[in-house]
Amino acid sequence: MSSPEVGVARVDREALREAIAEKYAQVATNPEIGFHFHTGRPLAMRLLYPASAIDALPPATIDSFAGTGNPFLFGDLRRGEHVVDVGCGAGLDTLIAAGHVGPSGRVMAIDMTSEMRQKTTEGAAVMDLKNVDVREGFAESLPVEDGWADVVISNGVVNLCPDKRAVFREMFRVLKPGGRIQIGDILVHKEVPQSAKDDIALWSG
Amino acid sequence: MLLEQTGFVDVVLSNEVDVFSGSKHESDARDFETRGVTVFARRA
């Protein structure tokens, strides 16, 4: 029996996507019910987002925020930059990025969950942001042309993807040479047993 | 490691954040020492 390739877990990918989409549809539509992970403004404060940046966003966007890091810890994005938000969720990072890059920039927000895409679309409309383009897609096959992006952001998404190598390849593909990733995710310091890696319920939380 | 194998350079990790304390995932997160982190890297 061969060992699985590094960065590739052995789960039923379609079943995993369905379970994750179902979970995050709930985060989008019923954030108040509570989840196995933190959400909303308290989480954003824990992740060191400036209160002023959060207060500028629609409450519905904030309430459905879920993430594990803060893509802007490494600095604001620059005017005119092209940004891809991989797994945009409710759009909190998308809307902040759209403000950073301004009207001459563009943010392509990608998510597989329709309820989350709807939430991001509504948030951009409330803020009258014309530089946000919301698209359906998967992290492993981004609907973005080669070399389009100056920056790829993401938050709490890579850990939900069984083939992390494919995700990083896609981020690399869509970036311009010299472009950067600023992504929040998780680090696991202890070896996770294969039985846990194979348990979809643990992936989707 | 995966990032560098993919062709990214200048990889930097932020300070780690205990993102699961107080959540229903706290026990699992503690068992595997799971922390939130933000990663910067550049395409070569």
Which chain B residues have a beta carbon less than 8 Å from that of A174? none
Parent domain of B14: 2-43
Closest residue in B to A170 (Cα–Cα)? B6
What confidence tier does A3 reach under pLDDT thresholds 50, 70, 90? very low
Q: Name which of B7, B16, B36 is nearest A172 (Cβ-Cβ).
A: B7
What confidence tier does A6 reach under pLDDT thresholds 50, 70, 90? low
Which of B15, B39, B40, B42 to substitute to test the interface with A, most A CBs within 10 Å?
B39
Residues A126/A58, Cβ–Cβ less than 8 Å:
yes
- pTM attached to this predicted model: 0.93
CA distance A22 to A186: 21
Question: Exposed (0-12), middle (13-18) or buried (19+): which is A34, by Cβ within 10 Å?
Answer: exposed
How do residues B6-31 score in pLDDT, each as one tens digit?
A: 999 999 999 999 988 888 777 777 77
Taking an 8 Å cut-off on Cβ atoms, the answer to whether A186 and B36 are in contact is: yes
A169: nearest Cα among A2, A4, A12, A7? A7
Does any CB of chain B come closer than 8 Å to the CB of residue A140?
Answer: no
Which chain A residues have a beta carbon less than 8 Å from that of B22? 38
ipTM comes to: 0.92
The fold adopted by the segment(s) A13-204 is: Rossmann fold (3.40.50)
Q: How many domains does chain B have?
A: 1
Q: Residues 50-89, chain A: which have Cβ within 8 Å of B?
A: 67-71, 73-74
